A = this chain, B = another copy of it.
Amino acid sequence: MMRTRPLKVALLGCGVVGSEVTRIMTTHADDLTARIGAPVELAGIAVRRPGRVRAGVPEELLTTDATALVKRGDIDVVVEVIGGLEPARTLITTAFEHGASVVSANKALLAEDGAALHAAAEQHGVDLYYEAAVAGAIPLVRPLRESLAGDKVNRVLGIVNGTTNFILDKMDTSGAGYSEALDEATALGYAEADPTADVEGFDAAAKAAILAGIAFHTRVRLDDVHREGMTEVTAADFASAKQMGCTIKLLAICERAADGRSVTARVHPAMIPLTHPLASVREAYNAVFVEAEAAGQLMFYGPGAGGAPTASAVLGDLVAVCRNKLAGTTGPGESAYAALPVSPMGEVVTRYHISLDVADRPGVLAQVAMVFAEHGVSIDTVRQQGKDGEAALVVVTHRAADAALSATVEALRRLETVRGVASIMRVEGE
């Protein structure tokens, strides 16, 4: 059943992802036609600077008026790869109002405003797909939303930001400090001129919000995600990690509480054992573990960013929404029926690695141990290293609530014998 009137696609943005989308739509047009059941035609490409040379991009399709493009009335699908909140949000909403389905790679917008966008799509009977918003080419949104639709996901744990993984991998393997590793990442094009969104964990937090929302059938917004960046991870932290048989990764962790009645979502650097599969995820690769009640542990691994991988995810969605258009239907929309409360970071239960600078005198360990005990935080191991009247004390705890650990650390800081808290890092993946 091949129809000949082509489906019309409007592309918003023509940077690294947009130009790859254009290239693939042009060079693989016959395959896309066969897989969709109708030809797809690139009807227009909205860009900010039409004068810029874009190899392989038909100049006659370029326009600076994105609003007019989505309002044309004959557009079947809008592909949004501009990023950021505005004008993306308004353009997507306008697209819905004009009957177009939307494929987006916009993690920030979806984490901020996913519920409203889903509602708008449903109201207008169109699709909103966004596989490319999380972990580039790695299929994650579709497996969570469809393959695991009959299962109960308890945990999503992963490396979802390639820039920070490249930096941490570099620090781990070369012994470099943070700024040296960042410089290399910038020089190689893995980090942007302003790396804030990556290194402060904003990008990973947006992805955590999206993943938690889908995994737990609950609305989770960016604000619900506890976020700590990785700019303060030091070479000394890596040395400590190695002594424990661990390395350090920036992790996104979405968990269902043990009683099943609430969920948490967080992004922070953490130590993980070298034996854990995530420990061997190198360079800018991403990998995500999903633990489900019936399926057990699944892992998804691949390139988490880049023009071509992101375009692959965009085009997979494009085929799906085009098929839906032809069938006169829509795919699964938002599923937030569980509406579980998102608990604050204080209720997260995990393990901790704490380095203290203490006075090297008898009784200090006993004093420190007492503070942990008073706050109900059980110690797993303590390592003591003395030097010149000062000593370093490294404490690894058993599982404890984050609030209890914070209170412990506050009390430790008040101890006269504790000169400083050199680092606190969570230990995951055990």
Q: Tell me the A residues contacting B by CB distance below 8 Å.
A: 20, 24, 28, 31-32, 34-35, 131, 137-139, 142-143, 146-152, 217, 277, 280, 292-303, 306, 308-309, 311-320, 323, 327-330, 332, 335, 337-338
- The answer to whether A296 touches B137, judged by C-beta atoms less than 8 angstroms apart, is yes
A selection of 23 A-B contacts at a CB cut-off of 8 Å is A31-B338, A34-B217, A34-B337, A137-B296, A138-B298, A139-B147, A139-B148, A143-B143, A147-B313, A149-B319, A150-B316, A150-B317, A151-B312, A151-B315, A277-B301, A280-B280, A294-B311, A294-B315, A297-B303, A298-B301, A299-B300, A299-B301, A301-B301
Copies per complex? Answer: 2
On whether the beta carbons of B20 and A294 are closer than 8 Å, the reply is yes
The answer to whether B137 and A295 touch across the interface, beta carbons within 8 angstroms, is yes
Q: Which residue of B has the minimal Cβ distance to A140? A: B147
A292 proximity list for chain B (CB < 8 A):
137, 312
A150 touches B32 (CB 8 A): yes
What are the residues of chain B within 8 A of A295 when measuring CB–CB? 137, 302-303, 308-309, 312-313
Contact present for B316 and A147 (CB under 8 Å): yes
The 8 closest A-B pairs by CB, nearest first: A150-B315, A137-B295, A139-B147, A294-B312, A149-B319, A295-B312, A298-B302, A299-B301
Are A296 and B300 neighbours in the complex by a CB distance under 8 Å? Answer: no
Name A20's closest neighbour in chain B (CB-CB): B294
Cβ of B296 and Cβ of A302 under 8 Å apart? Answer: yes
- Complex: chain B residue closest to A311, CB-CB: B294
List chain B residues, Cβ under 8 A from A328.
329
Other 20 A-B pairs with CB < 8 A, given A31-B217, A143-B143, A298-B301: A28-B150, A34-B217, A35-B217, A35-B337, A131-B147, A137-B296, A139-B139, A139-B148, A139-B298, A142-B147, A149-B320, A150-B317, A277-B301, A295-B302, A295-B308, A295-B309, A296-B309, A297-B303, A301-B301, A323-B332
Per a CB cutoff under 8 Å, which of B293, B316, B320 touches A151? B316
The answer to whether A294 and B308 touch across the interface, beta carbons within 8 angstroms, is yes
Residue on B with the closest CB to A141? B147
Tell whether, in the assembled complex, residue B138 and residue A316 are in contact, meaning their CB atoms are under 8 Å apart.
Answer: no
* A32 contact set on B, CB distance < 8 A: 150
Query: How far is the CB of A212 from the nearest CB of chain B, in Å?
Result: 17
Q: Give the nearest-CB partner of A40 in chain B.
A: B150
Residues of B within 8 A of A303 (CB): 295-297
Contacts of A139 in B (CB 8 A): 139, 142-143, 147-148, 298
